[in-house]
A and B are shown apart, each in its own frame.
Chain A
Amino acid sequence: MQLWFPVFILTLWAVFGIAAPWLSLDPNSIHLERILATPMASGGLGYDDLGRPLFDRLAAGATTSFLVAFWVVSLSSIFGTLIGSFSAYVGGVWDRLLTHVIDLFLAFPGILLAIALAGILGPGIENVVIALTIVGWVGYARLARAQVLSLKTRDHVLAAVALGVPRARVVRAHLLPLISAPLIVEATFGVASVVIAEAGLSFLGLGVQPPEASWGSMVRDGTRYLLVAPHMVIVPGLAMVVVVLAVNLLGDRLRDRLDVKSIANQP
């Protein structure tokens, strides 16, 4: 597939994600006469069970998913990379301890820990970001650790150490640039999984609270009116799948371009 498709979709998503407050959208306005109106009957994307315009809610949902994805991927990649490269570079007791911690977090399958954390911290967008970051940093840490372990005995690193370059500078100037390519690819796929995870939590009622919109909670609201108003489920789900598909396509491309092997399809 051509590259313009993912770039176009993701630009659109980012524009709605950042600029939604200035787009004069009205996601919470109620039009009682248009309750459950389908796109065919009312034009646009139709209306939901409270008579709110689906297009505006879709845009507001884009903001939610974009912000959550941005924060979770930024925070977890920064923390994960720092912890992973520190662990590998320092080695010894620290490395063994942190490896155990990483193994421990990896012992929780998929989204389960995020569900438990979000359930216990209580609903709300900040808690979603916290829960997904606590789950998300592990992947970056494991990757950064493995990369640094294989790089830290390279000649240029040993030369820098021999010249008396401080540790922090060795990591920043001589190691991080070399491990950034696989981390960028990992972060790209990370965006896709965070979008799905946020929507999943919101679907379960553990994400943003009404009347805030999230694609996940929109799908959940729609499941009650599947027969009369299938557009309530189809529209937000389609938006989400298109964004996730675009991110995955971009990730595949980046992986080929940056020639990163062996991290494909990690959970």
Chain B
Amino acid sequence: MWLVILRRLTSTAVVVLGVVVLVFLLIHLIPGDPVDVMLGESAQTADREALRVSLGLDKPVIDQLIIYIKGLINFDLGRSLHSQQPITALLAERLPATIELALAALLVTLVLALPLGLIAAARHNTAWDQGAMAFSLLGVSIPNFWMGPLLILVFALWLGWFPVSGREEAGAVILPALTLGTSLSAILARMIRSSVLEVLGENFVRTAYAKGLSRRQVLIRHALPNALLPVITILGLQLGTLLAGAVITETVFSWPGIGLLTIEAIQSRDYPVVQACVLLIALTYVVINSFTDLLYALIDPRIRVGT
């Protein structure tokens, strides 16, 4: 078991290092001179040189990378070019909003996907099943940036139930969480359905029926817990999609989280902030995935044996 954890942690560390290097290299992908792009053509030579030195762009790339990694270890991501604030403070200020949105969206996803998937599997090949799968196909096909405005139009402008955007008013989280959660629940419902269908063919389900349990008891107590194992992995993967989707959803609803910060930073050409946001989201994703893998190995003894 410890060997599994150790191996998993090493491979995570390698990926983390790779992500850091890739994100560091992003700034070198800027066509032409990054300093020109950030300051504009009309900037004074002295200003340019000052920025170049403060970003460390006058040093060789390898030295820059080492400085960048050293900074990361000390939680020092540099300063925003735009507001001159330390980037870590900017991120800390925006993080609670994104976490709130992500948790609310996750709740929406589970509340929608669990019953949908279960009903579709329990009533396999009936109108219920087809209805649930049609919803799922539709959910996959509707992008966040269309779903969001439609929800605003109906529930905020016409019905006036929720605020249009921002985070100050009560209930403001509901529409963005619905936007993010619906598309994820569409995929998850499909997974739960096929996973439950698979489990329903197993011997222990037949045994459960044979000892006289009702259909409901078999489904809820025997089939579902076993079917949820693979679903945990999917959920971990989806949390990443959720974080990336948050960039668009936060923009739609002016939700002041990390995603909106990313877009604002891109628009004001504040590349150090862009780098920091991308790094934060990607690293969260990597860590969550490693954690789900480990959790999976802890819950399911078959996987431990397998590795």
A residues adjacent to B (C-beta < 8 A): 100, 103-104, 107-113, 115-117, 119-122, 192, 196, 199-200, 203-206, 216, 219-220, 222-223, 226-227, 230, 233-234, 237, 240-241, 244-245, 248-249, 252, 264-265, 267
Contact of A104 among B22, B29, B137, B142 (CB under 8 A): B22
CB proximity of A164 to chain B, nearest CB, Å: 39
Q: What are the residues of chain A within 8 A of B244 when measuring CB–CB?
A: 109-112, 115
Q: What are the residues of chain B within 8 A of A116 when measuring CB–CB?
A: 23, 26, 262, 274, 278
Contact of A203 among B145, B190, B241, B245 (CB under 8 A): B145
CB proximity of A68 to chain B, nearest CB, Å: 15
Question: How many residue pairs, one in A and one in B, have C-beta atoms under 8 Å apart?
Answer: 134
A240 to B150, CA, bound (A): 14
Q: Which residue of the partner chain B has the closest CB to A189?
A: B140
Q: Is B240 an interface residue (CB 8 A)?
A: yes
Q: With A116-B278, A226-B152 as given contacts, are A109 and B247 in contact (CB-CB < 8 Å)?
A: no
- For A103, A111, A116, A219, the residue with the greatest tally of chain B CB atoms inside 10 Å of its CB is A116
Contact of A204 among B149, B157, B248, B274 (CB under 8 A): B248
A112 touches B152 (CB 8 A): no
B40-48, B82-90, B281-289, B298-306: which lies at the A interface? B281-289
A164 to B286, CA, bound (A): 44
Taking A112-B243, A112-B281, A116-B23 as given, write out 20 further A-B residue pairs in contact, using a Cβ cutoff of 8 Å, ordered by the A residue number: A108-B19, A108-B285, A110-B241, A115-B262, A115-B263, A115-B266, A116-B26, A116-B262, A116-B278, A120-B29, A122-B31, A199-B143, A203-B248, A203-B251, A227-B157, A237-B143, A237-B146, A237-B149, A241-B146, A245-B138
Q: Is B30 an interface residue (CB 8 A)?
A: yes
A231 to B116, CA, bound (A): 31
Q: Which 10 A-B pairs have the closest CB atoms?
A: A109-B240, A119-B266, A110-B244, A237-B146, A112-B244, A104-B18, A244-B141, A109-B244, A203-B145, A245-B141
- For A112, A196, A205, the residue with the greatest tally of chain B CB atoms inside 10 Å of its CB is A112
Q: With A107-B15, A107-B19, A121-B31 as given contacts, are A226 and B241 in contact (CB-CB < 8 Å)?
A: no
A230 touches B153 (CB 8 A): yes
CB proximity of B154 to chain A, nearest CB, Å: 10
A204 to B264, CA, bound (A): 10
A265 touches B152 (CB 8 A): no
- For A120, A226, A230, A240, the residue with the greatest tally of chain B CB atoms inside 10 Å of its CB is A120
A115 to B141, CA, bound (A): 20
Q: What are the residues of chain A within 8 A of B252 when measuring CB–CB?
A: 223
Contact of B274 among A110, A120, A264 (CB under 8 A): A120
Q: Which residue of the partner chain B has the closest CB to A234?
A: B150
Q: Is B101 an interface residue (CB 8 A)?
A: no
Q: Which residue of the partner chain B has the closest CB to A233?
A: B149
Q: Is the interface of A mostly helix, strand, loop or mixed?
A: helix
A196 touches B143 (CB 8 A): yes
Q: What are the residues of chain B within 8 A of A109 when measuring CB–CB?
A: 240-241, 243-244, 281-282, 285
Q: What are the residues of chain A within 8 A of B251 when measuring CB–CB?
A: 203-204
B285 touches A249 (CB 8 A): no
CB proximity of A44 to chain B, nearest CB, Å: 21
Q: What are the residues of chain A within 8 A of B143 when measuring CB–CB?
A: 196, 199-200, 237, 240-241, 244
B19 touches A121 (CB 8 A): no
B149 touches A226 (CB 8 A): yes
Q: Which residue of the partner chain A has the closest CB to B18?
A: A104
Q: With A108-B285, A120-B274, A203-B248 as given contacts, are A267 and B241 in contact (CB-CB < 8 Å)?
A: yes
Q: Which residue of the partner chain B has the closest CB to A222?
A: B149
B26 touches A120 (CB 8 A): yes
A116 to B237, CA, bound (A): 20
A60 to B144, CA, bound (A): 22
A112 touches B282 (CB 8 A): yes
Q: What are the residues of chain B within 8 A of A219 when measuring CB–CB?
A: 145-146, 149
A267 touches B138 (CB 8 A): no
A115 to B244, CA, bound (A): 9
A200 touches B149 (CB 8 A): no
A192 touches B19 (CB 8 A): no
Contact of A248 among B31, B140, B267, B278 (CB under 8 A): B140
A245 to B146, CA, bound (A): 14
A111 to B274, CA, bound (A): 14
A79 to B247, CA, bound (A): 28
A248 touches B248 (CB 8 A): no
Residues of B247-304 at the interface with A, using a CB-CB cut-off of 8 Å, are: 247-248, 251-252, 262-263, 266-267, 271, 274, 278, 281-282, 285-286
Residue-by-residue, is B67-82 near A (CB-CB < 8 Å gives 1, otherwise 0)?
Answer: 0000000000000000
Residue-by-residue, is B230-246 near A (CB-CB < 8 Å gives 1, otherwise 0)?
Answer: 00000001001101110
A113 to B31, CA, bound (A): 17
24 residue pairs of the A-B complex, CB under 8 angstroms, read A100-B14, A104-B19, A107-B282, A107-B286, A108-B19, A108-B282, A109-B240, A109-B282, A111-B244, A111-B247, A112-B247, A112-B278, A112-B281, A116-B278, A117-B29, A204-B266, A219-B146, A220-B145, A223-B152, A227-B157, A237-B146, A248-B137, A267-B237, A267-B241
A192 to B285, CA, bound (A): 24
